[in-house]
Structure 1
Amino acid sequence: MTDFKAIQQQFIAHLKDPDNVAFDYGIEDRRLKIYRELFFNNILGFLSSGFPVLASIYQEQEWLRLARQFFASHRCRSPYFTDISLEFVEYLSSEHQATDYDPPFLSELAHYEWLELSISIKKCSEPLVVWEQNNDDFPTLIQFSPLATLVSYHFPVHRISVDFQPHLAEEPVYLVVYRNNKDDVNFSLINQVSAHLLNVIQQNAHIGMSELLAQMQSVLPQINPAQLNLSVQNIVEQMLSKEILLPTKCD
């Protein structure tokens, strides 16, 4: 049994890294090639479909190289196919050794594309109660949607494409990636003040407008209270209309 397990481990190592790990157990290479291509192409397909923008900015051979390095060296913790994208993001951020072919925004763009996928398949235990814009009653309490994520990047990842590839980091870019009640995944570009406001709401399970205003005034004392109150009200209304924020009714 020990020998059989050793053969299995050698077979796995060969499939993951055939250029550096041989498999000399009497199986002709033609048959081994079928398994090598089957496993690698499966992983490659998940990466190419999960990270279409990232894949598009690489030359084909360099994208294959990156996928091969991930397949050969990363030890995945999850057995689920849907987690391959997350494993790739973690590999790029903590294990991958950058080369001249890799863009400086590699890990951030990968994280952004993974986040879009993650939000699209995320399950919600209860139906979302959204704000009806025609309703004159403003919510007593508000909350951050469980189908939304607030993130910041050094690169404008939402704009990156084959034709736009920044080389230097810029001012922090704040984004909210979210899914609405129709299951449409969108993003919203926001400023630092809006990001702080959303972070405050996110840190509180349910928060009222008076408490939210008080917290915002404490960090922005230089702004006229009346002006700040109006700005906060406008931001909250915009976020409610996009379903980034959700209403919570008192019992």
Structure 2
Amino acid sequence: MPPQRDSNSPPESLLALQRQFAGHLRDPARVAAPEGLEERRLAIYRRLFFGNLNNLFSKNFPVLYKLVDRERWQSLIREFMVDHRSTTPMFTEIGREFVRFLEERQSDGLPAFALELAHWEFLETRVRLAEADPGAVACDTAGDLLAARIALNPTLRLAQYSWPVHEISPGNRPETPLEQPLILAAWRKFDDRLGFMKLNAVTARLLELIDRQPELAGRAVLERIAEEMRAPDPATIVQSGATMLERLRDRGIVLGTLPQ
């Protein structure tokens, strides 16, 4: 007895037609269009498919778009369409797929910092579109940050780079990586504007510990850092850390304290 076909799956002939049609839209130079389709209509589909991706990526990666020659940029979009297979159907996540595409290949004609710049620009998009609302976090905005658990801005994202991605522009194209890694924070403020801040390793570790161990009060977090640093005078670390926590609260990275 022949195998039963799932009633929800399309007939093999339709499936083959869909695959050929999709393959033609991705790579019209090498994949022929299905027979019987009017070229005028096909041209519209090809133009819309390519144009939508081109428009999306130029807006999601505006700095990279300005730095790449137009012919190279369009060939990059075509390479993405032909060679990459996305793992998500979400339109808002397509930028992540482009970053993954750049990560998996050595693309000629792109700046050495292209991958990290694309990652930074996508991170900005993630923060901008994050569903979390800083204003909806239930916390005491004037609470004692040493005595209580700390509320972080839920849109906060940290990333480390080898290039000064936050400074790159058409007029500022670095030729060599930084001597020391760069840690950047991005978050959405209460007025929906984006905030950016360059962090040192200790401040980044502070935020990481607060996020990973939300049960700890601010003083306990700072004491943990002093222990990791093997500081001869932990009280000094706690004191300077308290000042940094206040600065982070002023910037909207720290929102206040959580209920006990």
Q: What is the deviation of 1:194? A: 1.1
1:191 equivalenced with 2:197 (yes/no)? no
Distance 2:229 2:52 in 1: 51
Structure 2 counterparts to residues 201-220 of structure 1, below 5 A: 201-220=210-229
Residues 1:37 and 1:121: Cα distance change in structure 2 (over 3 Å) = same
Shift of 1:64: 0.7
For the aligned residue pairs, the C-alpha RMSD in angstroms reads 1.9
C-alpha distance in structure 2 between counterparts of 1:237 and 1:131, whole Å: 14
Partner of residue 119 from structure 1, selected from 121, 127, 135:
127
Match of 2:79 among 69, 84, 105: 69
Q: Give the AA of the match of 1:110.
A: A
Residue 207 of structure 1 aligns to a residue whose secondary structure is coil
Q: What is the distance in 2 between the residues matched to 1:247 and 1:207?
A: 14
1:163-203 CA-to-partner distances (Å, cap 9, x unmatched) read 11223221100111101222211111111121121122121
2:183 corresponding residue in structure 1 = 174
User: Aligned AA for 1:187?
Assistant: F
1:47 maps to 57
Is 2:112 the partner of 1:104? Answer: yes
Other-structure match for 2:171: 163
Structure 2 counterpart of 1:213, which letter?
A: L
Please say if 1:7 is aligned against 2:17: yes
1:131 touches 1:243 (CA, 8 Å); kept in 2?
Answer: no
Give the secondary-structure state (helix, strand or coil) at the position aligned to 1:174: strand
TM-score of the superposed pair, with normalisation by structure 1: 0.90
Instruction: Return the alpha-carbon distance in structure 1 between the equivalents of residues 240 and 187 of structure 2.
Output: 22
**Residue 138 of structure 1 is aligned with which of 140, 144, 154?**
144
- 8 Å CA contact retained: 1:148, 1:244: yes
Identify unmatched segments of 5+ residues in structure 1.
none
Whether the 8 Å contact between 1:129 and 1:246 is mirrored in structure 2 is no
The farther-off stretch of 201-210 and 169-178 is 201-210
Q: Which ranges in structure 2 are unaligned for 5 or more consecutive residues? A: 1-10
Query: Following TM superposition, by how much is the alpha carbon of 1:72 offset from its aligned partner in structure 2, in angstroms?
Result: 1.7
Contact 1:177 1:187 in 2 (8 A): yes
| Pairwise CA distance, 1:131 | 6.0
- Contact 1:129/1:247, CA 8 A, preserved across alignment: no
Whether 1:20 and 2:30 are equivalent positions in the alignment is yes
Question: Is the CA contact 2:138–2:258 (under 8 Å) kept in the aligned structure 1?
Answer: no
CA distance in 1, matches of 2:189, 2:74: 35
So what's the TM-score if we normalise by structure 2? 0.87
Contact 1:128/1:181, CA 8 A, preserved across alignment: no
Q: Per-residue CA shift, 1:87-145, capped at 9, x if unaligned?
A: 11121112x3321x11111111111111111111111278024664xx4x423221332
Distance apart, 1:246 and its partner CA = 2.7
TM-superposed CA distance for 1:77, in Å, is: 2.3
Q: Aligned partners of 2:72, 2:160: CA distance in 1, in Å? A: 28
Percent of aligned pairs with the same amino acid: 33
Conserved? CA contact 2:17–2:34, under 8 Å? no
Note if 1:237 corresponds to 2:243: no
For 2:136 and 2:259, locate their aligned partners in 1 and report how far apart those are by CA, in whole Å: 17
